[in-house]
Amino acid sequence: MTRSAVGRVAADTGLALAAGAMDVVLYSHVPLRPEEPRFWFTLGYLGVIFVVLLTRRRHPPAVFVVVLALAALAAPVSGFEFRPEIVVYLALFTVAERCRVRVAGVALAGALLYAFLSSSPDFDLSRPEDFVVDVAAAAYLTLLPLSVWATGRWVRTSREHTRSLEARRQLEARQAVVEERGRIARELHDVVSHAVTVMVLQAAGGRRVLDHDPTRAAGAFDTIQRLGENAMGELRRMLEVLRADGDPAEPQPGAADLPTLLDSFRAAGPHVDLRVTGDPPAVAPAVDLAVYRVVQEALTNVTKHAGTGASAEVLLTWTADHVEIEVSDDGGHDATHHRALSTGHGLSGLRERLAALGGSLTTARTPTGGFRLVAVLPLADSVDPVAYRRSTQPSGIP
C-alpha cells in the first residue's frame, strides 16, 4: 500500500470514529455504563457506522443511503432519544464532493427531509417566543446541510479546476517540446542541406575532371573544405545555444552575408544574380536570419532540381514595413534532379519559420519550366519580440 493510500485510510478511520463519537455525545442521552443495554446498542451502532463510513470514498451514494437509514432508525430501534447528524453530514459531503450534481442534489434533498422529520418543529403561532425558536431551528436545519453540500461541491469544483490546469500545463509542455524540436529540425536542415548539396555536387564534378583537369578538381576540393568548415561553424554555434540556453556567442548569418552564400552556389555551377531594391534598415535578428535562410533554401533547391547549368535570380525588395524575397530560376538545361539529396521538409520548414514571424511564402512553376519562390516578412516593428528569439535560435528542449 502506498503512502498516500495509507494516509487516506488513516483519515477515513479518524473521521469515522470522530463523527460517530460526537453524535453519541451531542445527540443522544446514553448512560456510559456497561451494564446498560443502551450502552451496548450504542457500541454496536458505532461499529456499523465505522465500517460503513470506511467505504465512503468508493461508494458515496450507497454509503449515504445506508448511513441515512441507520440514523433514521437509531431512535425507533434503541427506544431512546438518539438523532445522529454528523455521520449524515459526513456522508452528504462525500456525495457532494465525488458525485455528479444530480446525484448530489438527491442526497441533499434526503438530508433536508431527514433533518425536518427528526426535529419536526410545530410553529405554534399562539406563542410568539416559541415560534421564533422554531423558525430559527428550521433555518439552522436548512442551512447546515446546505453548507455541507455547498462545501463539498466547492471542493469538487476546485479539484476539477486544478486537474484542468495541470492537464493544460502538460499539454502546453508537450506542445513546447514539439515546437522546439521543429525549430531545431529546421535549423539543422538549413545548416546541413545547403552544405551537403553543394559538397556532393562539387565532389562529383571534381571526380569527373580529376584526371584531365587537376586544377579544376583542386578548386572543387577547396570548395568542399570551405563549405564543410562553414557548416561546422554554424553547427557549433547552434550547439552552444542549446547547451547554454541563451543567445549565440557568435552572430547568426543575415542579409549582409548573402554575397558569400551566392558565391558558394556559383562554385557548384548555377549562375546566380543578386539585385537589391531599397535601403536595408536595421532589422530584428530573427528577420535577418530568415532572409538568409529563405535565399539559402531556394538556391539549394535550384541546385538540386534545376542542375548546375541553371540560371537563378535573387531579388530583395526593402520597404519601410516589410522585405520581399523573390528567387526564380529558368529550370536549367542539364537538370539532373538529385532526389537523394532532398529531405522533403525544406519548404514546409521555411513556411513554419516565416509564419512564426508573421510572414508568408508562395511558390509556383514558371511558364519557362523554372520555379519561383516569393517570401514576405514584416520588419521589426510588426513582429512579436518573443518570436524573434524563438526563430533566431533554438533554446533547448524543456
What residue ranges do the domains of the chain occupy? 3-120, 169-259+267-392
CB count within 10 Å of CB 320 equals 8
Single pTM value for the model: 0.51
What CATH number does domain 169-259+267-392 carry, 3.40.50.10070, 3.30.565.10, 3.40.1710.10, 3.40.50.1970? 3.30.565.10
CA–CA separation, 268 and 45 (whole Å): 94
Predicted confidence at residue 395, as pLDDT, reads: 37
For residue 2, give the DSSP letter: -
CA–CA separation, 302 and 290 (whole Å): 18
Choose among 333, 342, 336: nearest CA to 194. Answer: 342
Q: Exposed (0-12), middle (13-18) or buried (19+): which is 183, by Cβ within 10 Å?
A: buried
CA–CA separation, 357 and 222 (whole Å): 37
What does the H/E/C string look like for 209-221?
HCCCCHHHHHHHH
CB 349 within 8 A of CB 361: no
Predicted confidence at residue 343, as pLDDT, reads: 52
CA–CA separation, 22 and 49 (whole Å): 12
Q: Exposed (0-12), middle (13-18) or buried (19+): which is 338, by Cβ within 10 Å?
A: middle
Three-class SS of residue 84? coil
Q: Strand ranges (DSSP E) for the chain?
A: 271-277, 311-318, 322-329, 360-365, 371-378
Q: Give the chain's length.
A: 398
CA–CA separation, 225 and 211 (whole Å): 20
Q: What's phi and psi for 328, nearest 5 deg? A: -135, 150
Choose among 328, 343, 321: nearest CA to 295. Answer: 328
CB 229 within 8 A of CB 236: no
Three-class SS of residue 197? helix
Grid coordinates representing 335? 537538370
Place of cell 486537474: 163
**Over the range 82-116, which residues count as b (16 or more CB within 10 Å of their CB) and which as e?**
bbbbbbbbbbbbbbbbbbeeeebeebbebbbebbe
Over the chain (398 residues), the average pLDDT of each successive run of 10 is 74 81 72 62 77 83 89 77 83 91 92 78 56 69 88 92 90 80 72 74 77 81 79 73 55 85 80 90 86 88 73 91 91 56 65 85 86 88 45 39
CB 357 within 8 A of CB 286: yes
The number of C-alpha atoms within 13 Å of 262 and in the hemisphere containing its C-beta is: 18
Predicted confidence at residue 132, as pLDDT, reads: 65
